[in-house]
Amino acid sequence: MTAAAAATGAAVSIEHLRVVRGGVLVLPDLSAEIAPARVTGLLGPSGSGKSTLMRAVVGVQRIAAGSVRVLGEEAGSPALRRRVGYRPQAPSLYGDLTVTENLRYFARILGAGADDLARTVSTVGLEARAGQVVDRLSGGERARVSLAAVLLGKPEVLVLDEPTVGLDPVLRRDLWNTFHELADAGATLLVSSHVMDEAERCDALVLLREGRIVATGAPAELMGRTQGRDLNEAFLRLIEAAER
Amino acid sequence: MSVRTASATAARVLTQLRRDPRTVALLLAVPVALVTLLKYVFAGEPVVFQRIGGPLLGLFPFISMFVVTSITMLRERSSGTLERLLTLPLAKLDVLVGYGAAFALVAAAQAALVSAVAFGALDLHTGGSTWTVAALAIANAELGMALGLLVSAFARTEFQAVQFMPALVLPQMLLCGLLVSRDRMTRALQIASDALPLTYSYDALARVTTGLPLGPRFALDVSVTVGATLLALALGAATLRRRTP
- DSSP of chain B: --HHHHHHHHHHHHHHHHT-HHHHHHHHHHHHHHHHHHHHHTTT-HHHHHHHHHHHHHHHHHHHHHHHHHHHHHHHHHHSHHHHHHHSS--HHHHHHHHHHHHHHHHHHHHHHHHHHHHHTS----SS-HHHHHHHHHHHHHHHHHHHHHHHTT-SSHHHHHHHIIIIIHHHHHHTTSSS-GGGS-HHHHHHHHT-HHHHHHHHHHHHHHT---HHHHHHHHHHHHHHHHHHHHHHHHT--SSB-
Q: Which region holds residue B24: left if phi is over 0, alpha if psi is between -120 and 50, else beta?
A: alpha
For residue A210, count other CB atoms closer than 10 A to its CB.
15
Which residue type sits at B98?
Answer: G
Interface check B181 vs A, CB under 8 A: no
Residue A5 pLDDT greater than 60, yes or no: no
Q: Which residues of chain A have a Cβ shorter than 8 Å from any chain B Cβ?
A: 21-22, 58-62, 76, 78, 81-82, 84, 86, 88, 90-97, 101, 105-106, 108-111, 133, 149
Q: What whole-number distance in Å separates Cα of residue A102 and Cα of residue B95?
A: 15
- Chain B environment of A106 (Cβ under 8 Å): 84, 88
pLDDT at A70 over 60: yes
| DSSP 8-state secondary structure symbol assigned to residue A101 | H
Residue B32's identity, in one-letter code, is: V
Q: What is the three-class DSSP state of A168?
A: coil
Q: Tally the residues of chain A.
A: 244
Q: Which of A3-17, A65-79, A117-131, B5-19 is least confident?
A: A3-17
> What's the pLDDT tens digit per position in B131-140?
898 899 889 9
Q: What is the pLDDT of residue A244?
A: 75
pLDDT confidence of residue A2? 43
Residue of B24, B16, B19, B2 lying closest to B95 (CA atoms) = B2
Q: What's the pLDDT score for residue A4?
A: 44
Whether the per-residue pLDDT at A3 is higher than 70: the answer is no
CA-to-CA distance for B159 and B236, rounded, in angstroms?
20
What is the band of A94 on the pLDDT scale with cuts at 50, 70, 90? very high
- Nearest alpha-carbon partner for B137 in B63, B30, B48, B239: B63
Q: In the predicted model, what is the mean pLDDT of residues A91-96?
A: 94
Nearest to B243 among A61, A78, A82 (CB): A61
Confidence bin at A8 (pLDDT 50/70/90): low
The span from the first CA to the last CA of chain A, in angstroms, equals 36
Give the pLDDT of residue B122: 92
Q: With beta carbons under 8 A apart, name residues in chain A contacting B20.
A: 96
What is the pTM assigned to this prediction? 0.88
Q: What pLDDT, on a 0 to 100 scale, did the predictor assign at position B214?
A: 85
Average pLDDT score over residue span A64-76? 95
pLDDT at site A43: 93
What pLDDT was estimated at residue A181? 94
The whole-number pLDDT of residue A224 equals 87
Residues of chain B contacting residue A147, judged by C-beta atoms under 8 Å apart: none
pLDDT digits (tens, 9 = 90+) for A176-232: 999 999 999 999 999 998 787 888 899 999 999 999 999 999 988 988 888 878 888
B72: nearest CA in chain A? A94
Instruction: With beta carbons under 8 A apart, name residues in chain B contacting A79.
Output: none
| pLDDT at position A216 | 93
A1 pLDDT higher than 50:
no
β-pairing verdict for A204-209 and A24-34: unpaired
pLDDT beyond 70 at A88? yes
Interchain CB contact of B15 with A (< 8 Å): yes
Candidates B1, B13, B87, partner chain A, best to mutate (most A CBs within 10 A): B87
Question: Helices B21-41 and B3-18: crossing angle, nearest 10°?
Answer: 70
Residues of B in contact with A59 (CB under 8 A): 87, 242-243
Mean pLDDT of chain A: 91
Asked if the ipTM is above 0.90, the reply is no
The residues of chain B scoring below 70 in pLDDT are: none
